[in-house]
C-alpha cells in the first residue's frame, strides 16, 4: 500500500486488532479505531465481556496514539444476523453466525460507517491476505495456516474486498504476540476469544432457551429403537458426542454415541454408535445461498473445500451451478457434514467463496 491513507480499524479489545492498529500507525497512516458494540441484551451478564473489551481497546488506542469511537451496531446485528441465527436453529440446522457477522456487520455496516468518516479503507485483525491483480481482488489464506480465517470471510464481495486490509495476513500468531509485547500493548497476553461473536463464552443451551421454545423428544437409533430423550433438536449438531447422556445404554455395543441426523417432523434425534458409522460419512453435499469472492463464479471442476472451519482442505469436484445451487463431491468421505454450516471452496490459497450446506 503506497502513500498515507486514512484507515479505520475494527478494534475488538483483542491482541490481533491491537497489533493491526499499531502496525498501520507505525507505517505512517492516519488510523482511527472503532469498537463495535453488536450486542446489548445482557451487558451485565457474567459471561459478557463487552465492557472489558471496550476498556482494553481504549487502552490500546491510547498507547498507539489514535482516536477511538464506540459505535453501536446492535440493531443491525439483530436484524441481519441474530434473526437468521434463530430461524436456522428453529429449523433444526446449525448456522455459523460469525460468517454472516463478517459479511453484514464488519464489512457492511462498519464499512459504510468508516466511509462516512472519510476512510480510504478499513482494516481488521483477520488472518487472511488480499492480492490485487489486473483490478481483481483475490481473498487468500493467511500465511499462518493454523490461524487462517478466510473461511469466515468467504461471503465478501469485490467491492468489500477493495476497501479491506488484513495486515496480519503475512504474520504468524506467535509474531503478533511478540510485537504486542514489544509495543507494550496491554492485550499482548490476553487469551483469544472462543465464543460466538455475540454470545461470548456463556452456556449455549441456557442462552438459546431465552429466545426459542424447547420441545423435548426421543433419541432413536436408525432402526427406530428409543435409547434416550433429547431436550430439543436445536441443541444438537451432527457429530456431537458430549451431552447425550446415553453412554451406559444396555442395548449399546460399548462404543460412544454420536448424533447422526434429525427427524424434524417427528421431533426425533437419530443417534449411532462409533465415530465412523456409515451415517456419519458423506461423499457429497448440496449447497445453496451461494456467494463468490471473484467477479465470476468458479467453473465446474476440481478444487478443495472445507465444510467446517477446523478441518484440512479436502479434494472435491464442483458440479455446474444451476439455479443458485451446487453440489460438491469429495474424493474421500467427509465426517458429520452439517446442514446450516458453510462449505467453502479453494483453488490453492485462493478462497473462491461457497454456500450454505443443505
Distance linking the first and last C-alpha atoms of the chain: 40
Whether 1 has a binding-site annotation, put simply, is: no
CA–CA separation, 23 vs 26, rounded Å?
A: 5
Joined grid coordinates for residue 152: 469466515
316 noted as active-site residue: no
Whether 16 has a binding-site annotation, put simply, is: yes
351 noted as active-site residue: no
Whether 232 has a binding-site annotation, put simply, is: no
Q: Tell me which of 48, 121, 197, 351 is the catalytic residue.
A: 197
Whether 15 has a binding-site annotation, put simply, is: yes
Whether 176 has a binding-site annotation, put simply, is: no
* 224 C-beta neighbours (distance < 10 Å), count: 10
Whether 13 has a binding-site annotation, put simply, is: yes
Q: What angle do CA 234, 238, 241 make, to 5 degrees?
A: 95
Whether 68 has a binding-site annotation, put simply, is: no
Phi, psi at residue 270, to the nearest 5°? Answer: -95, 125
Q: Tell me which of 48, 101, 316, 351 is the catalytic residue.
A: 101
Whether 12 has a binding-site annotation, put simply, is: yes
Whether 10 has a binding-site annotation, put simply, is: yes
Q: Which residues are annotated as a binding site for ATP?
A: 10-17, 36, 125
Q: Which residues are annotated as a binding site?
A: 10-17, 36, 125
Active site residues: 101, 197
Amino acid at each position: 500500500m503506497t502513500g498515507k491513507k486514512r484507515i479505520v480499524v475494527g478494534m475488538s479489545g483483542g491482541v490481533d486488532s491491537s497489533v493491526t492498529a499499531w502496525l498501520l500507525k507505525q507505517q505512517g497512516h492516519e488510523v482511527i479505531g472503532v469498537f463495535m458494540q453488536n450486542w446489548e441484551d445482557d451487558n451485565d451478564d457474567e459471561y459478557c465481556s463487552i465492557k472489558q473489551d471496550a476498556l482494553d481497546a481504549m487502552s490500546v488506542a491510547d498507547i498507539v496514539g489514535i482516536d477511538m469511537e464506540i459505535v453501536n451496531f446492535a440493531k443491525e446485528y439483530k436484524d441481519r444476523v441474530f434473526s437468521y441465527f434463530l430461524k436456522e436453529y428453529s429449523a433444526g440446522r446449525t448456522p455459523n453466525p460469525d460468517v454472516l457477522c463478517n459479511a453484514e456487520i464488519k464489512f457492511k455496516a462498519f464499512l459504510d460507517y468508516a466511509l462516512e468518516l472519510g476512510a480510504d479503507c478499513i482494516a481488521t485483525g483477520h488472518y487472511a491476505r488480499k492480492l490485487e491483480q489486473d483490478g481483481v481482488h483475490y481473498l487468500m489464506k493467511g500465511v499462518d495456516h493454523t490461524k487462517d480465517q478466510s473461511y469466515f470471510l468467504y461471503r465478501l464481495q469485490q467491492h468489500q474486498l477493495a476497501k479491506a486490509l488484513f495486515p496480519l495476513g503475512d504474520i504468524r500468531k506467535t509474531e503478533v504476540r511478540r510485537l504486542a509485547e514489544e509495543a507494550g500493548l496491554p492485550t499482548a497476553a490476553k487469551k483469544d476469544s472462543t465464543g460466538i461473536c455475540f454470545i461470548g463464552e456463556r452456556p449455549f443451551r441456557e442462552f438459546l432457551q431465552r429466545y426459542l421454545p424447547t420441545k423435548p423428544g426421543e433419541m432413536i437409533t436408525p432402526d427406530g429403537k428409543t435409547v434416550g430423550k433429547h431436550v430439543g433438536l436445536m441443541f444438537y449438531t451432527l457429530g456431537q458426542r458430549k451431552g447425550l447422556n446415553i453412554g451406559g445404554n444396555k442395548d449399546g455395543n460399548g462404543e460412544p454415541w454420536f448424533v447422526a441426523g434429525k427427524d424434524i417432523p417427528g421431533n426425533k434425534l437419530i443417534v449411532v454408535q462409533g465415530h465412523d458409522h456409515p451415517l456419519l460419512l458423506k461423499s457429497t453435499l448440496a449447497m445453496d445461498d451461494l456467494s463468490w469472492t471473484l467477479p465470476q463464479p468458479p467453473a465446474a471442476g476440481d478444487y478443495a473445500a472445507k465444510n467446517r472451519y477446523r478441518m484440512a482442505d479436502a479434494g472435491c469436484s464442483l458440479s455446474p451451478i444451476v439455479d443458485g445451487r451446487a453440489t460438491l463431491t469429495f474424493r474421500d468421505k467427509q465426517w458429520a457434514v452439517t446442514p446450516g454450516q458453510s462449505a467453502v471452496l479453494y483453488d490453492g490459497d485462493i478462497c473462491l467463496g461457497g454456500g450454505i450446506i443443505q
